[in-house]
Structure 1
Amino acid sequence: MSPSKTPNMSDSSSPWFITYTKLRFFNRIRRFLQHKASIKRSATCDRLDKTPRIVVDMDREVKPRVEDEMERESSSEDGWMVLQRSVKKLHFGSWEEKEMAAKEIKRLARDDIKMRKSLAELGVVPELVAMVGSEVVAHRSLAVQSLIELANGNYKNKALMVEAGIISKLPENVNVLDESTRHEFAQLIMSISSLANSQFPLTSPKILSFVHGVLESNSGTVTKELCLGTLYNLSTMLDNAGALVTNGVVQTLLSMSSIKETSEKALATLGNLVVTLMGKKALENNPMVPESLIETMTWEDKPKCQELSAYILMILAHQSATQRQKMAKAGIVPVLLEVALLSSPLAQKRALKLLQWFKDERQAKIGPHSGPQTGRMLIGSPVNQREADAGKKMMKKMVKESLYKNMQTITRRAAGDSPKLKALVISSSSKSLPY
């Protein structure tokens, strides 16, 4: 009699291997549920050992709190039964069953913080990430919504999503998506981008392409703000500046900074990039700079935007005569005077610093030709002297025009403002201004 043939357990396609895998999965769930049930039973016994409080009502029957404990225990057991069925359907069910399971997982993760960790331990994250790649819009949307709930406040779950390949599941063309789907993807990516300070490579072209596509599309303001939040999280790491600049993020951020609804987050991201060498060069070479930033400083109803714009201009103007010359030609001096008088304390401080640089630079240019000449200084030719005098006259004329324009603006505002501001305008003169 020939010996029986031993089944090949190493073959992943054999029925023996599939059965063995299912048994291991169900044993894992059973042990998990038994552990949770034992913890709950011990906690219930501790509570029942104490003397129960009796609530007495003359018109109703006496009802101890023990019954409430039993009802809560029963509902908790029902919840774990729902969890068991949902996880089973998500792993081994049909697409319809997977859809129902995703709905239950979304509800469980939203209602219970501890459940998010338990669901991740049962391996639902890779299955949901796989559903994101489905061609059926309903399945994909449910999977994204469930992942959003699982990622809420849970660092480990976000890391599991990245390891499962969620970035590769991002749609390549955002224009084929409806607004709600764009918003869901943007919300998920913004939540995952908080891992920027970890070892995960989140500046992949997939993420940047998706974010850039949403910002350039006709998506709503809320969706665009989520994408700007993603870029801000990525820009907090200086090592990510190169990838962001290379993918054309600076131009997009400057365009978003010109819109009041999205300006603050865009300027905050530019503030992170301008302190890097590549980010500063990209801003210096952009044709929108410095005009767009100077325009933002005139927004009286957006003090935070004024502060951020002044900060970026400070970085650009520091030790760069070329940038200061561009700013002067763009008319930054009267704007700085206005901000220094009427904006928030931080914006005033930054505006005064910039004005000091322009004042020092002007004095350095006209200093050798003003006042008595020393023996060490060379007397120039009459032609050079005439040029110096003409330059002094032109500079005085520019300063007077700037101050006059600024005083007109302040006077116009003072017509409807407080008496304190009116008194400031009436008593102000060119001599009382800081510069």
Structure 2
Amino acid sequence: MRDPVVVSTGQTYERSSIQRWIDSGNLSCPKTQQRLQNLALTPNYVLRSLIIQWCEANSRRVVSRGRRRLGADRGAVRRLSGGSVVAQRAAAEEIRSLARRSTDNRILIAEAGAVPVLVGLLAAGDAATQEHAVTALLNLSICDSNKALIILSGAVGPIVQGERGVRLFSLSLDDENKVVIGSSPGVFEALVALLRDGSARGRRDAATALFNLCIYSGNKPRAVHAGVLAPAVALLSVVVSHQEGKAAAARANVIPLLVEVLRAGQPQVKENAAAVLLTLCKKDAEGLGSLEGLGAVKLLAELAHSGTDRARRKAAGLLEQLKKLRRTS
């Protein structure tokens, strides 16, 4: 052990080992099996000092983490900030590859000062260089200690342009980043556009990023103002058409949220909300009972009278289901 760190359960691990554990998707303490309350890795300076003392007393050399070399060398990082377009493109591609390989490389690349330079390359005129730079930043962001550095280096603005905005889903996992990303101009508008018009992967990652960002309550009105409800409810109407998606929506207790959409949403959003509710509640006494308890009958009656053609059909279908429930109860 040469770089001891403490996790939220109070246990100490070698940094590179526990980081690899976390990067593999494990969210529990390896020793206690308790769920980690956060993913912060706090240096254990006392144990670090004892390790150094033992090494000195036993004629062993401790290599400082900050002095170890990159897999190739630091030349790739230096070439990012100078030279021809071709040289910068090659250097960005090399950094992208190194950052993908290991946790140690991600830490060392950031320590070598690559992050601000990569952020600068997001505005490069060469499309291939931009793609290598943004993917390198995504790879670096897998390491929690790099997330804040990437945000503070001003990466959010350039990253949200176009399909690259899907990369925010990784950065948005960190609680502190939720505040910074959410307050950056154009973020929610870009993610909503991706959710509505992006590729399959783009829509998936945009939905994940929006969910992560909206865990912070201050971001919820920003998302609503950016128009998140329309594509989100439209996406939900597709999801619940599959049995697994329907079951997942039921477990997530989305009925109260959809009733609120019926109460205050735009016509197209109300239409999709009614469609989702019909799929979820058809021949389901518990779901229909929830609708009655939430005061949805009046809202559905209004929608059946003045909604879009599809909304009127869906609302009428729900009202018919509610009538059948009353007759059998």
Which band: TM-score by shorter chain? 0.5 to 0.7
Cα separation, 2, equivalents of 1:202 and 1:231: 11
8 Å CA contact 1:273–1:280 kept in 2: the answer is yes
- Residues 192-231 of structure 1: pairs in structure 2 closer than 5 A: 192-196=171-175, 198=177, 200-203=179-182, 204-217=184-197, 219-231=198-210
Q: Name the SS for the 1:110 alignment partner.
A: helix
Among 109, 113, 124, the residue aligned to 1:134: 124
Unaligned 5+ runs, structure 1: 1-38, 48-77, 175-181, 336-357, 359-397, 404-429
- Residue matched to 1:235: 214
Cα separation, 1, equivalents of 2:241 and 2:59: 55
8 Å CA contact 2:169–2:205 kept in 1: the answer is yes
8 Å CA contact 1:103–1:142 kept in 2: the answer is yes
What does the per-residue CA deviation read over 1:144-190, in whole Å, with 9 as the maximum and x for residues that have no partner?
111111112x2221211111111221465x4xxxxxxx2xx144111
8 Å CA contact 1:316–1:323 kept in 2: the answer is no
Cα separation, 2, equivalents of 1:295 and 1:262: 10
Among 227, 231, 248, the residue aligned to 2:227: 248
What does the per-residue CA deviation read over 1:359-413, in whole Å, with 9 as the maximum and x for residues that have no partner?
xxxxxxxxxxxxxxxxxxxxxxxxxxxxxxxxxxxxxxx54xx79xxxxxxxxxx
Superposition deviation, residue 95 in structure 1? 3.0
AA aligned to 2:154 is G
- Residue matched to 2:318: 332
Among 323, 331, 334, the residue aligned to 2:299: 323
- Residue matched to 2:64: none
Answering whether residue 166 of structure 2 is matched by residue 190 of structure 1, we say no
Among 150, 154, 169, the residue aligned to 1:165: 154
Among 127, 132, 145, the residue aligned to 1:156: 145
- Residue matched to 2:79: 89
Superposition deviation, residue 327 in structure 1? 7.8
Cα separation, 2, equivalents of 1:237 and 1:96: 42
What is the aligned length?
249
TM-score normalised to structure 2 length: 0.60
AA aligned to 1:103 is E
Superposition deviation, residue 120 in structure 1? 0.9
Cα separation, 1, equivalents of 2:253 and 2:187: 21
Larger radius of gyration: 1
Superposition deviation, residue 316 in structure 1? 9.7
Which structure has the higher relative contact order (CA within 8 Å, separation 6+)?
2
Superposition deviation, residue 129 in structure 1? 0.7
- Residues 8-19 of structure 1: pairs in structure 2 closer than 5 A: none
The verdict on how the C-alpha distance between 1:80 and 1:291 changes in structure 2, with shifts beyond 3 A counting, is closer
AA aligned to 2:234 is S
The verdict on how the C-alpha distance between 1:267 and 1:223 changes in structure 2, with shifts beyond 3 A counting, is farther
The verdict on how the C-alpha distance between 1:315 and 1:141 changes in structure 2, with shifts beyond 3 A counting, is farther
Answering whether residue 239 of structure 2 is matched by residue 260 of structure 1, we say yes
AA aligned to 1:155 is D
- Residue matched to 1:13: none
Q: Name the SS for the 1:330 alignment partner.
A: helix
- Residue matched to 1:120: 110
AA aligned to 2:195 is L
The verdict on how the C-alpha distance between 1:258 and 1:291 changes in structure 2, with shifts beyond 3 A counting, is same
Unaligned 5+ runs, structure 2: 1-51, 61-67, 305-314
AA aligned to 1:332 is L
Answering whether residue 89 of structure 2 is matched by residue 99 of structure 1, we say yes
AA aligned to 2:153 is A
The verdict on how the C-alpha distance between 1:289 and 1:143 changes in structure 2, with shifts beyond 3 A counting, is closer
Cα separation, 2, equivalents of 1:249 and 1:115: 37
Percent sequence identity over matched residues? 22
What does the per-residue CA deviation read over 1:53-103, in whole Å, with 9 as the maximum and x for residues that have no partner?
xxxxxxxxxxxxxxxxxxxxxxxxx97361322122224444322222212
Q: Name the SS for the 1:165 alignment partner.
A: coil
Q: Name the SS for the 1:194 alignment partner.
A: coil
- Residue matched to 1:28: none
